[in-house]
Amino acid sequence: MRDNEVVNVGTEPLSFDDVVKVARHGATVRLTDDAVAAVAAARTRVDELAESPVPAYGVSTGFGALATRHIEPSLRARLQRSLIRSHAAGSGPEVETEVTRALMLLRLRTLATGHTGVRPKTAKALQGLLNAGITPVVHEYGSLGCSGDLAPLSHVALTIMGEGVVRDASGRLTDAAEALKQAGVEPVELAAKEGLALVNGTDGMLGMLILAMDDLTRLFRVADVGAAMSIEALLGTDRVFAADLQALRPHPGQAASAANLRALLAGSQIMDSHRDGTCTRVQDAYSLRCAPQVAGAARDTLAHAASVAARELASAIDNPAVLADGRVESNGNFHGAPVGYVLDFLAIAAADMASISERRTDRMLDVARSHGLPAFLADDPGVDSGHMIAQYTQAAIVSELKRLAVPASVDSIPSSAMQEDHVSMGWSAARKLRRSVDGLTRVLAVEILTAARALDMRAPLRPAPATAAVVACLRQAVSGPGPDRFLAPEIESTVRLVADDSVVAAAETVTGPLA
């Protein structure tokens, strides 16, 4: 928990960093005065509609295919309760706390725009949950990514009503009413339109996109570090990464990756050892030579996803929406297609980054292609198996990532008696991307673990100062080459060093910040 961090939620968009601070690091949330004023102004218009004899969707009618029924004023409080209770229909495993906190923050931000018509007290209740560390239990299944992430957001709204199950600030599973009482947060009896306003958004899929972008930004730098280590260990060349060669194809991500590789490989005694004209190889294999082309394409995909996420962060998604002139209009802005597409696109990039990493690892283990390294990097090949099965682990994950790269967003399925006849499946795309990010982390860790062993085996030749710093970082947790030992803990130690950015930080002590 970052007690000193405060994220202001107002009528202006949040930053990606704001979302990460609240979701992952427990930063405090504060509704700004302009947000409270905007919320109150929009509420005035909703109250007027509630008193009107003219039906207004979400205010005085049923929902979805039941929108044709006009609801009498005496039944409208029940209407809101019924909406939330019936829509809180998630199933399956509990999603991660950081995902639910991101979802809550993003819904609060939409409420703060003044385009949803909730009362200030309802927005403040959601703020109170976040600041008290109360996390509603949200389930894996239930969202079709259209009409928003209905079931996940309904579990949050249920908590605002003082119902359902939550985790308190200590992570303990408990009754929502008790958790709110302990935290001093008053449950809210939802008024006209408030139930719909709390559940009709793309907040879950957007939150997962922003968290994945945060992870992938780090992992794509890790991928360059792993590629540099592998290229060096395999006696590859860095000539192909020259800036003038890369400029012939001016993709920005490619240029950034190639610059990283040049910096990481600078001053390598291993690479200098085969620049004397005796090397007969004309070209390296694609997994070495094309590393910046693949990593660059992944970076450019990430940049596209960031542009979509930024626009989504600037959106006010609700149906119906309260407009500046007082109109309350139905719309389709809750459709998750823009977010779903880029979630699927990033899963493709993650799978391909893992695939090229696994190919480099396999090359280091194959005595026919490793240019002098022992078979499987074993201490005594035949008696020892070295990293043979570590590559199997990589291969298994890469195959899984390829399956996860199949897009969810093309798999629309109709619902609500054909009223909601085309949906985005953006939530599903986000859930599989989270698994892809975890898989890529593990594949890169195996490459770095293997490449470090291979670099040690090139002694007495010394690696580049930057890659040597990575090996030294790794050696604090994992021993160097030797007879076979229990390998799984070494892989997990390397996974942690990759995930917490220690690997990149070690390289950057030499190179400075990597792109």
Q: The domain that contains 105 carries what CATH number? A: 1.10.275.10
- Asked whether residue 15 falls in the same domain as residue 78, the answer is yes
pLDDT of residue 3: 55
Q: Is 141 a catalytic residue?
A: no
Are 131 and 265 in the same domain? no
**Cα distances (angstroms) measured from residue 342 to each of 150, 304, 428, 497:** 20, 8, 12, 28
User: Does residue 372 sit in the same domain as residue 419?
Assistant: yes
Q: For residues 151 and 63, state if they share a domain.
A: yes
Answer yes or no: is 231 within a domain: yes
Is residue 329 one of the residues assigned to a domain? no
Alpha-carbon separation of residue 354 from 219, 334, 344, 394, 445 (angstroms): 10, 33, 16, 8, 10
Q: What is the pLDDT of residues 106-134, one digit of tens each?
A: 999 999 999 999 999 999 999 999 999 99
Within this chain, do residues 165 and 212 fall inside the same structural domain, yes or no? Answer: no
SS3 333: coil
Of 118, 149, 160, 76, the C-alpha closest to 320 is 118
Q: Is residue 139 helix, strand or coil?
A: strand
Q: Are the beta carbons of 143 and 429 closer than 8 angstroms?
A: no
Using the 3D structure, point to which of 132, 167, 201 is the last residue of a domain: 201
Q: Based on the domain organization, do 114 and 236 belong to the same domain?
A: no
Query: CA 345, 346, 348: angle at the middle one, nearest 5?
Result: 70
* Average confidence (pLDDT) per 10 residues, the chain, 515 residues: 80 96 97 96 88 74 73 80 94 98 98 95 97 98 90 97 97 97 95 92 96 98 98 95 97 98 97 76 90 98 98 92 88 92 98 98 97 96 97 98 96 83 92 98 98 97 98 97 97 98 98 97
Same domain (yes/no): 169, 242? no
The answer to whether the CB of 257 falls within 8 A of the CB of 292 is: yes
List the CATH number of the domain containing 282.
1.20.200.10
Does some domain include residue 283? yes
Q: Is 322 part of any domain?
A: no
**Are residues 286 and 178 both part of a single domain?**
no
Q: Check whether residue 123 and residue 217 sit in a common domain.
A: no
Set 57, 141, 341, 392: catalytic member: 57
Alpha carbon distance, N-terminus to C-terminus of the chain: 28
Q: Which residues pair with 381 in a beta bridge?
A: 384
Select from 161, 184, 201 the last residue of a domain. Answer: 201
| Cα–Cα distance measured from residue 78 to residue 80, given in angstroms and rounded to the nearest whole number | 5
Number of domains in the chain: 2
pLDDT at 1 (0 to 100): 44
Angstrom distance (rounded) from CA 134 to CA 183? 8
Q: Are residues 40 and 97 in the same domain?
A: yes
Per residue in 342-385, pLDDT tens?
999 999 999 999 999 999 999 999 999 999 999 999 999 999 99
Residue 333 maps to a domain: no
| Whole-Å CA distances, 362 to 87, 230, 259, 354, 475 | 49, 10, 25, 12, 22
Q: Is 344 part of a structural domain of the chain?
A: no
Token duo for residue 259: 């610059």
Q: Which of 159, 178, 201 marks a domain boundary?
A: 201
What is the dihedral angle through the alpha carbons of 381, 386, 387, 389, rounded to the nearest 10 degrees?
80
Judge whether 328 lies within some domain: no
Do residues 174 and 267 share a domain?
no
- Could you tell me the residue range of the domain that residue 367 belongs to? 208-314+349-511
279 within domain boundaries: yes
355 and 403, same structural domain? yes
